[in-house]
A and B are shown apart, each in its own frame.
Chain A
Amino acid sequence: KNEVEQSPQNLTAQEGEFITINCSYSVGISALHWLQQHPGGGIVSLFMLSSGKKKHGRLIATINIQEKHSSLHITASHPRDSAVYICAVEGDSNYQLIWGAGTKLIIKP
């Protein structure tokens, strides 16, 4: 079993829909990262969080440390949100990142 599991693996939705991508992990962590990989391949860090909730524009990330679960939400989704969203966790014994396999999101106009 992978230490970081993302769901769903693939998600297709219509423009305007509210999107939720989930990340569950099985190790103790010091922080969790959400990243976005564009269709062209570039990777951008979106959030780093260790508790609670963070918001940036239409993106919201939440984490529940007790349940070892995080969600990434996109409100009013748009075709330009189409990308692979990756969850990664920092183990609490070292700072190396453990990566999820990613969720491929397609938003149709």
Chain B
Amino acid sequence: DAGITQSPRHKVTETGTPVTLRCHQTENHRYMYWYRQDPGHGLRLIHYSYGVKDTDKGEVSDGYSVSRSKTEDFLLTLESATSSQTSVYFCAISESAGVWQFFGPGTRLTVL
């Protein structure tokens, strides 16, 4: 299995609080992705990174920011969490664009 972990695995927080999710990889892959998964929807891309300090928006980026200061870590921040951001968040990595993505175990976030 690809070395990819997410923390925390579960989090409950209140509306208006900041939340940061961490994705950590040991594979030295260049690309990292954050997705959210909600019932009735496929996985939706929030942000992705194609290198250290190189990030771009996905289809559902509003309300989220990301940072990648090291190859191995990709952080997703909700500056002021809302109930609509209750979801399961998956991180994924790939060696380059257009190849297999390996997924982390997911983080279940509940915003009350």
Using a CB–CB distance below 8 Å, which chain A residues touch chain B? 4, 30-31, 33, 41-45, 48, 86, 88, 90, 94-97, 99-102
> How far, in Å, is A21 (CB) from chain B's closest CB?
14
B112 at the interface (CB under 8 A from A): no
B61 contacts the other chain (Cβ, under 8 Å)?
A: no
Known contacts being A30-B98, A31-B98, A96-B58, is A41 close to B45, with CB within 8 Å?
Answer: no
Q: Are A43 and B99 in contact (CB under 8 A)?
A: no
Q: Is the CB of B44 within 8 A of A45?
A: no
Verify A86–B98 contact, CB threshold 8 A: no
Closest B residue to A30 using CB positions? B98
Indicate which residue in B40, B88, B98 contacts A90 across the interface (CB closer than 8 Å).
B98
Q: Which among A4, A31, A41, A45 is the interface contact of B42 at CB below 8 angstroms?
A: A4
| In the complex with contacts A95-B97, A96-B58, A45-B41 CB distance below 8 A | no
User: In angstroms, how far is the closest chain A Cβ from the Cβ of B47?
Assistant: 11
List residues of chain A with CB within 8 A of the CB of B44: 99
Q: Are A45 and B102 closer than 8 Å at their CB atoms?
A: yes
Tell me the bound Cα distance from A44 to B40 in angstroms: 20
Task: Give the interface SS of chain B, mostly helix, strand, loop or mixed.
Answer: loop
8 Å CB contact of A101 from B42, B100, B105 = B42
Question: A33-B100, A43-B92 given. 12 additional CB < 8 A pairs?
Answer: A31-B98, A42-B103, A42-B105, A42-B106, A45-B103, A48-B100, A88-B42, A90-B98, A97-B45, A97-B101, A99-B43, A102-B42
User: Do B42 and A44 touch (CB < 8 A)?
Assistant: no
Q: Is the CB of B105 within 8 A of A86?
A: no
A86 and B106 contact, Cβ closer than 8 Å, known pairs A31-B98, A95-B98: no
- Please, which residue of chain B has its CB at the minimum distance from the CB of A94? B97
Contact across chains for A41 and B106 when beta carbons are under 8 A apart: yes
Within 8 A of A (CB), among B22-81: 40-45, 48, 58
Residue of B40, B41, B48, B90 touching A43 (CB-CB under 8 A): B90
